[in-house]
Amino acid sequence: MRSKQFWLLATTATAFLVFVGILGLFFVGNGAVSADSLAPAALTRTVAAGARTRYELQIKHLDRRARLAVHGLPWGAEGRFVIGRDRATLYVWTTPWTFAGRSLLKIDGSTAAGPIAPMSATLITRSVPLSAAYGIWTPTVWDTCSVDIHNSYAVIGPGGKLYPTWHPPIDPATGCTFGHEHGKDPSGSAVFDLTGGVPFGAANEALDTYAANQGLVDMRHEDHVGHKINWTNNTRALNNSRIKCSILTHVHQGTHSPDAFSNNLHEVGYYARCSDGNQLALNLLSPFGNGGEFTEGCNRSKTIATAEPMPMDSPDGFTGTARAIPDLSCIKQYILVPEGQTSQFSPNDAAGTFGGLYESWQPTLRLVSPDEPGPIVFITPEFAVLNPVRYYDPAQSDSLAYSIGICTLVEPNGDTVHGSSACNQVLKHPEWTYDNPDSPFNGAHRVVGKFGNIEINNAGGRTTWYSDPYGTNLQTRPFPGSIKQTISATDNGSGYNFNTEGSFDFTSTGVHAPN
């Protein structure tokens, strides 16, 4: 009897081991990796589920006629090769539902010289929580990229959450288009290391937590396409030629929707490092003027009342801050002109006028401690757009009028657009809609030199602070809804000025409103 029991136990154990072996083979084939089969560290990547990574491969005799394949990607992940001479880039993007764990990737294929030696790479995927800003973009009829490809341009930000970040207008792996742009690639900035990868919507996310902890219902979520990045490297201060600073700005500036007509709170990130040791990295929701109103774009002394802002208790902007937005009266005054005159869309410095379609937002970025008499950081940048998608017209639904329609406006006295190459182009194509990628009014032509005056008053102070989402109530320890702010323990007097002229058109293939 005992021998029969032993035989049954042995048989059961053997069957279990065989099952485990088969199961192990199944998981290895589907992405899991045994400890003795790992790829070299140089070909190991760790990525958050929902983000992307890439592998740089050196392969002899490789050219564009080569054929490469990758095997072993986990469920929910996709890969695509971009092949050059003797090298290839493997882009891998995942989704939030991609299996977490370690996957062994096998890369093979052939060149004109014959099959390549198979290569191994390791992909480590880990699950992270998603921010409210992640995954809110959806493609339009003009856009060719999928939601998953777009969402994979993401970075882990505050709270360990996954946030969207900068991406090019055209995906390099597939050649598909996103239909919008976010300005300059931040990885080229000398202060990129201060930015945390530029997570979009981090300050808005902090407000959710802060408001809930304070018993408030405040919420301020912004769309995806309005996030814009600009930077300059090793630029001399206008008021002190001995000082050079590298600066990166990130602002949410939507010039395609009615949002800014009433809402004055918008996310701003400002990062700077100067040759004399002054340095800062800040992120906050900044008030641009007051909520429920805006400044007329062509007449800075006129304020136009609109709807209640969101949140309703949005703090007012400081003196000198504004959202100067063009309205119909600006269009009539500067763009619809008699024959023989030239329409003025943009500022004329000689005449001291702003023109009919110039949109300029001016914040005052301040970090304020309750224990200090004044702000320890004070910055005055300006963010301006030369071809906003829309302007304000109270006769329209949501007071939203599209700039492309200016080209066909005619006053009762015959005044209309004259001398505009943009409108000449539009008039040749009456079928163009406001969101057509060929429209010249896409919000991509922006002023890029107005980084403002940077003033730091933190001599001997702490270098790490925690503020509320508005940059006030600085504390030495984090609290619910706080944002980490870093400032050098320095004082640069009246500050360094970086207000220079210059503009750049970020239009690229497929870019269109909303942008």
**Contact (CB, 8 A) for 190 and 244:** no
Q: ω into residue 514 within 30 of 0, thus cis?
A: yes
Contacts of 266 (CB under 8 A, 6+ apart): 222, 251, 252, 253, 260, 285, 286, 288, 361, 363
DSSP 237-263: ETTEEEEEEEEEEEEE---SSSHHHH-
**Contact (CB, 8 A) for 306 and 294:** yes
- Cα distances (angstroms) measured from residue 432 to each of 306, 393, 458: 30, 21, 53
Whether the pLDDT of residue 393 is over 50: the answer is yes
| Residue 82 phi, psi dihedral angles, 5° rounding | -115, 115
Q: What is the CA radius of gyration of the chain?
A: 27
Query: What percent of the residues of the chain are helix, what percent strand, and what percent coil, each to the nearest 5?
Result: 15, 35, 50
Q: What is the pLDDT of residue 186?
A: 99
Q: What is the pLDDT of residue 39?
A: 54
Q: What is the pLDDT of residue 160?
A: 98
Q: What is the pLDDT of residue 23?
A: 33
Of the candidates 42, 115, 55, the one whose C-alpha atom is nearest the C-alpha of residue 88 is: 55
pLDDT digits (tens, 9 = 90+) for 409-466: 999 999 999 999 999 999 999 999 999 999 999 999 999 999 999 999 999 999 999 9
Alpha-carbon span 343 to 440, nearest angstrom: 16
Residue for token digits 């109270």?
Answer: 394
Model confidence pTM above 0.85:
yes
How confident is residue 21, by pLDDT bands cut at 50, 70 and 90? very low
Of the candidates 259, 355, 357, the one whose C-alpha atom is nearest the C-alpha of residue 309 is: 259
How confident is residue 41, by pLDDT bands cut at 50, 70 and 90? low
Q: What is the mean pLDDT of residues 396-412?
A: 98
Residue scoring higher pLDDT (14 or 105): 105
Considering only 108-117, 248-257, 320-329, 448-457, which range has the smallest mean pLDDT? 108-117
**Contact (CB, 8 A) for 27 and 99:** no
Whether the pLDDT of residue 32 is over 60: the answer is no
Buried b (16+ CB within 10 A) or exposed e, 415-444: bbbbebebbeebeeeeebebbbbebbbbbb
Q: What is the mean pLDDT of residues 18-47?
A: 48
Q: At 229, list the tokens.
A: 């990045």
Q: What is the pLDDT of residue 62?
A: 87
Of the candidates 103, 290, 273, the one whose C-alpha atom is nearest the C-alpha of residue 192 is: 273
How confident is residue 500, by pLDDT bands cut at 50, 70 and 90? confident
Bridge-based pairing state of the strands 322-325 and 293-296: parallel
Q: What is the pLDDT of residue 217?
A: 81
Q: What is the pLDDT of residue 2?
A: 37
Q: What is the pLDDT of residue 40?
A: 62
Of the candidates 293, 322, 312, 276, the one whose C-alpha atom is nearest the C-alpha of residue 399 is: 293
pLDDT digits (tens, 9 = 90+) for 352-372: 999 999 999 999 999 999 888
Of the candidates 241, 256, 321, the one whose C-alpha atom is nearest the C-alpha of residue 288 is: 321
Whether the pLDDT of residue 30 is over 50: the answer is no
pLDDT digits (tens, 9 = 90+) for 281-336: 999 999 999 999 999 999 999 999 999 999 999 999 999 999 999 999 999 999 99
Alpha-carbon span 212 to 190, nearest angstrom: 37
Buried b (16+ CB within 10 A) or exposed e, 483-508: bbbebbebebeebbbbeeeeeeebbb
Q: Across 73-141, where does the E strand assignment appear?
A: 78-84, 87-93, 101-111, 114-115, 119-126
pLDDT digits (tens, 9 = 90+) for 142-158: 999 999 999 999 999 99
Of the candidates 124, 70, 135, 71, the one whose C-alpha atom is nearest the C-alpha of residue 99 is: 124
DSSP 177-224: B-S---BS-GGGSTTGGGTTT--TTHHHHHHHHHHHHHT--------S
**Looking at residue 43, what DSSP letter applies?**
G
∠ CA 242-244-249, nearest 5°, is: 150
Mean pLDDT (the chain) is 92
Whether the pLDDT of residue 20 is over 50: the answer is no
* Collapsed DSSP state (helix, strand, coil) of residue 105: strand
Alpha-carbon span 176 to 80, nearest angstrom: 12
